[in-house]
Amino acid sequence: MAHAKECLSARWPLPFWKMSGAGNDFVLIDHRGAFVAARDMAEFARLVCRPKFGVGADGLIFIERSEEADFQWRFFNADGSEAEMCGNGARCAARFAFMQGIAAAHMRFLTRAGLIEASVDETLVTVSLTPATDLVLNRRLQVTDRPHVVHSVNTGVPHAVLFVEDLAGTDVCSLGRALRFHEAFGPKGTNVNFVALADDGLHIRSYERGVEDETFACGTGAVAAALIAVQLGLSSPPVRISTTGGAQLDILFTEKGGERLPALRLRGSAHVIYRGELTPEALA
Ligand SMILES: N[C@@H](CCC[C@H](N)C(=O)O)C(=O)O
């Protein structure tokens, strides 16, 4: 990482924003100057996302120039792994871009999952997701000591979804970790979402790949849960989801003809928590 410090030498102190999308928190950096080398990005993100020694966040987002859209991004989980998409992070990125004058209130930006459209209305941000793929319902998987009925879908990143009776009593970390690394999801693994039906919609707790822990919210996970609940006839659109941190996310559906899955949009809050400046000691 010494190289990163050198290549950043002309840039210290480095401005960043800390934002929260429904309790999923992120560091955002205007990287249109492209001063962090691509080979250093993962380690840079891991060091900055560390609690206590860094800023502390579930992920880090580089906002970059694009010839094809208003901007493009690179998204890194707290462990430095790069993910194709992040629903809550996308909502924060859209508000960051709007507030920084990088894009208008209705924008399009490129992710590794594809093109995302977003609209910003003060702290309420709505993002369209790329078409959901790889939907598998009612798979029985042996996990730890017993079989579980597991559903899965890719909403830009892979998600497993399990419906449970006692959400508060679910051991999200141990069962989530066992499923996140389960052979059924291949070497890349999956995020894992535990969902309970409620009078006001769905309640969800998520174990996130790349954070390797429960997070307060997972946007693409909430979308996965809503899509699967509707496909199973357990809920109907639009689906309101209450997340661990107490925030709510709305999943909006646009029906498609034939066998195609509906188009999905994610709506919720995106808050600017603080603006700061990184020093080289954040990479120590
Ligand atoms: N929290 C995100 C998901 C971020 C990526 C995920 N951890 C993965 O690696 O698949 C969201 O809001 O969607």
Cβ–ligand 1 contact at 189 (below 6 Å): no
What is the rounded CA–CA span in Å between residue 133 and residue 157?
A: 10
Query: Same domain for 111 and 137?
Result: no
User: Both 142 and 237 in a single domain?
Assistant: yes
H or E element at residue 149? strand 146-154
Q: Ligand 1 test: best mutation among 28, 181, 209, 265, most atoms within 8 Å of CB?
A: 209
- 246 and 176 assigned to the same domain: yes
Instruction: State residue 71's pLDDT score.
Output: 98
Residues ≥6 apart with Cβ < 8 Å to 137: 151, 228, 231, 232
218 lines ligand 1 (CB under 6 A): yes
Per-residue model confidence (pLDDT) at position 181: 98
Q: Are 185 and 152 in contact (CB under 8 A)?
A: yes
Residue 144 and residue 249 share a domain: yes
Residue 186 belongs to a domain:
yes
Q: Is residue 112 domain-shared with residue 175, that is, in the same domain? A: no
Same domain, 82 and 188: no
pLDDT at 145: 87
State the CATH number of the domain containing residue 196.
3.10.310.10
Q: How far is the C-alpha of 185 from the C-alpha of 152, rounded, in Å?
A: 9
Q: Is residue 195 included in any domain, yes or no?
A: yes
Are 125 and 151 members of one domain?
A: no
> What are 208's two structure tokens?
């996130």
Residue 268 forms beta bridges with which residues? 125
Angstrom CA distances, 229 to 62, 195, 204, stand at: 33, 9, 12
Q: Is the ipTM of this complex over 0.90?
A: yes
Token digits of residue 232: 């199973």
Which position has the token pair 């003060």? 122
For ligand 1, mutation pick of 180, 208, 215, 241 (most atoms within 8 Å of CB): 208
In a domain, 265, yes or no: no
The pTM for the full model equals 0.96
- Token code pair at residue 84: 């194709």
- Extract the residue ranges of the chain whose pLDDT is less than 70: 1-10
Range of the domain at 46: 2-129+271-283
At 266, which helix (H) or strand (E)?
strand 263-269
**Helices (runs of H) and strands (runs of E) counted in the chain:** 5, 18
Domain presence at residue 154: yes
Q: For residues 67 and 145, state if they share a domain.
A: no
Co-location of 109 and 150 in the same domain? no
Q: How many domains does the chain have?
A: 2
Q: Are strands 59-64 and 71-77 parallel, antiparallel or unpaired?
A: antiparallel
Report the atom number in ligand 1 closest to the C-alpha of 158: 10
The model's pLDDT over 102-149, given as tens digits with 9 standing for 90+, comes to 999 999 999 999 999 999 999 999 999 999 999 999 999 999 889 999
